[in-house]
Amino acid sequence: MAAEPHELIENETLLGELFVKGTSAAYQLENTLQIQQPIKDVVLQLKQPAPNRFWKLRGRPYFDEDEHFKGYRFVAHDFSESHALQVSAAERERHDAIVRMTAIIAHDFNNYLATVVGSLDVLEFRENLSAAGEKALNNARNGAMRAAKVTHDLLSFTKDHKLQNAKQVNCLKAVQEVSREIISAHGQGLIFQIDIDEGLHVLVDVVTFHRALRNLMENAAKAMLSSGYVDVTATLAKDARVELRIRDYGAGISEEILDRIFEPFFTTRHGEGGAGLGLAMVRGFAHKSDGEVQLQNAGPGAEAILTLPLAIPMAQPVQHPTNETASPRQNANYSGRKALVIEDNPELLQTLNEMLTDLGFNVTNAESIAELQYRVDPEDPLDLIVSDAVLSDGHAFQPVEDLRRACKTSPGVVYVSGFSKVKPPHGTDVLLKPFSLKDLSERIHAVLSHQPPQFAARDVQYYQANKI
């Protein structure tokens, strides 16, 4: 800088006018000045009119001929671009750490919820409950499934999560269904004005799409204080995309938080039980569907724009998810058939044992891969294996496949997982935690209905020679 260097440092008013105080860097500089030590690469943020600019300072104190301190001689250069890169890298590291922690928490909670939901189903299946008992049980189940939605939302913005098979979904029917649910919850004072061509379809995972729509439309309803109009439109955009717009006429979004609105755990509704996961889930869903989502002020109100891939309609579009519950398969009777459960969580192991027993199976348990060699003889008949995908002593796929090939009866295999990024071996299936007795029964029916694979004699010999 051309200005007298010591004047900048000695004049506190001028220093306060130039740099943002209260930061760790400003505190470091003040301490350095007090003890008259050299300034070593201190990065300070400029105030207005350049609030996004940063200077890096380097300098030394200088003294007159009588050894009286006179100030600092220093150099300063614009460090804004480098600082932005460093901040971006730090933000990525923090985001990755949050993602890893979130995936672990969601996985553990899915284990607990699988135990709760499964146990409730067993109780309902076995006991002749009173009307009050049925009501209490359904309340508990609904609470557990709401908690399951939270873990799903957590996973939706982690690297662990992947969408299920994308299918064509009718936009109009999906929006109409969600609007009915929201009006039922908020009252008839809320009116959704829907303008969507009935032939418009998107290529998405139907359950996650339904959840994303509900989050966006629910936010619009809350912005209208559950009374007034919300516009929902869908149009064909370029590049084979469908653009869904959801607009409210509420107060809009503060410009200060607009850039943070999709951040995980960011919420403006702390007093309303908001966890800050809804919009983060929507963004995760959009990105993993090869789409995008935006949220902007529309004056008045706010508008969400969800862009998704266009689907060419087929003869029979997929059915939209409903909240209806059903009992386990009426024709599911596996009396006398044998099942092996491999699960390292003791409570969930017991719950799976009870669920399979209610379906008629004779059940054998193993709590680890190492335990298989003591629990299972490939010569004995085995009809079904239900195994956690990841156990405390390793991944289950290869050991289970070895056992499956060695068994003479070629058992069906259902893997259960608290993670959703699971690609099972050919001929097997995955059931995501938590799941109901009905879900388990249907998945078992599916794997046992398939033509059993034919394994060569060498596969049996391999297992016997390489017992786990």
54 lies in the same domain as 180: no
CB within 8 Å of 121: residues ≥ 6 apart:
328, 355, 436, 437, 438
Say whether pLDDT at 392 is over 60. Answer: yes
The count of C-alpha atoms lying within 13 angstroms of the C-alpha of 352, restricted to the half-sphere facing its C-beta, is 34
Is 87 inside any structural domain? no
Spell out a b/e string for 292-307, using b for 16 or more CB atoms within 10 Å of the CB, else e.
ebebeebeebbbbbbb
59 lies in the same domain as 105: no
305 alpha-carbon distance from chain centroid: 20
Is 425 inside any structural domain? yes
150 lies in the same domain as 258: no
Overall domain count for the chain: 4
User: 449 lies in which domain range?
Assistant: 338-465
402 lies in the same domain as 458: yes
pLDDT given for residue 272 in this prediction = 57
Is 268 inside any structural domain? yes
225 lies in the same domain as 305: yes
175 lies in the same domain as 285: yes
Lookup: tokens for 465? 């020679």
Lookup: tokens for 19? 């740099």
Per-residue pLDDT tens digits for 279-313: 888 888 888 888 999 999 988 899 999 999 998 76
Residue where a domain stops, chosen among 133, 156, 179: 156
- Alpha-carbon distance of 287 to 307, in angstroms, equals 10
379 lies in the same domain as 458: yes
375 lies in the same domain as 461: yes
Contact call for residues 305 and 247 (beta carbons, < 8 A): no
CB within 8 Å of 165: residues ≥ 6 apart:
205
Is 85 inside any structural domain? no
Comparing 60-74, 228-242, 325-339, 452-466, the range with the smallest average pLDDT is: 452-466
Per-residue pLDDT tens digits for 156-211: 655 545 555 678 999 999 999 999 989 988 888 889 999 999 989 999 988 889 98
Looking at the DSSP bridge assignments, the partners of residue 191 are 229
End-to-end CA distance of the chain: 72
Lookup: tokens for 269? 């509704």
pTM: 0.55
Handedness of CA 447, 452, 455, 459 (dihedral sign): positive
289, amino acid identity? S
384 lies in the same domain as 425: yes
